[in-house]
Amino acid sequence: MGVLNVTPDSFSDGGKFNRLDLALKHIDSMLENGADIIDIGGESTKPGSDPVSIDEELNRVIPIINEVKKTNNDILISVDTYKSVVAKEAIKAGVDIINDISGLAFDEDMAPLLAKNDIPVIIMHIQGKPKTMQQNIFYNELINDIKKYFKKRCDHAIKSGIKKSNIILDPGIGFGKTFNHNYKLLNSLEIFKDMAYPLLIGPSRKAFIGDALNLPPDERVEGTIATVVAGILNGANIVRVHDVKENKRAITVTENILAAK
């Protein structure tokens, strides 16, 4: 899954792809380099970020979906949003997946909308909201607490009419987690496999990598690759990354290692 942030303030690539032509060029590049899914985000959800208006988010993401689907309807597009109004318009434009950082918790209309339209959803774990999620982080036991959260959110999704086969889980690396929590999650992904849902991870260029290496976001490619490989070896099915070419190469080698068992 290749990341396209059409925001001025994303932590890694804010402001780089705000123009439609630049966004489309970047999508083409990611697809050429092996991305299977393009995840488009119109609101930064980095720690400390403020939400944007619905109109602003729509203006950022819908024109891109329209252009991509007009060119090739087979390209899989995910939209990173927790707002049902944005999701509704994205679905009209042909989006294939909704990536909801709130796990369907921030907007009560999201789950029924996705059920009605038979749209797959990524249910992510988050503690708090992006503005304050890195403040007062507390878990009784990290993995068990996240599993309980997943059960609650998946039960809600299924009761709302979302098919179990349309649910993907994301443990939310970097969302209400400490440095150690993020590494423990990567090392514990297999524990979530008994829930019988596909697993997505999004470690790309995040602070826990930068803190380990003392490097800024644009110099965290190698660190990201290490987390992606570890994630796949521990059970991740989808990896969300900025640097598609480099990670795709590492994934190809990793898959060959696993296939040779």
Number of helices (H), then strands (E), belonging to the chain: the values are: 9, 8
Phi, psi for residue 166 in degrees, rounded to 5: -100, 10
CA distance 4 to 243: 11
Secondary-structure breakdown of the chain: helix, strand, coil percentages, each rounded to the nearest 5:
50, 10, 40
**Annotated catalytic residue within 46, 177, 240, 248:** 240
**Annotated catalytic residue within 60, 177, 206, 220:** 206
CB atoms within 10 A of CB 115: 18
Residue pair 180/131 in contact (Cβ under 8 Å)? The answer is no
Largest CA distance in the chain: 51
CB atoms within 10 A of CB 171: 29
Residue pair 237/198 in contact (Cβ under 8 Å)? The answer is yes
| 60 catalytically annotated | no
CA distance 74 to 117: 18
CA distance 187 to 181: 10
| 70 catalytically annotated | no
Structure tokens at 177: 């987690």
251: nearest Cα among 261, 233, 219: 233
Among all residues, which ones are annotated catalytic?
A: 206, 240
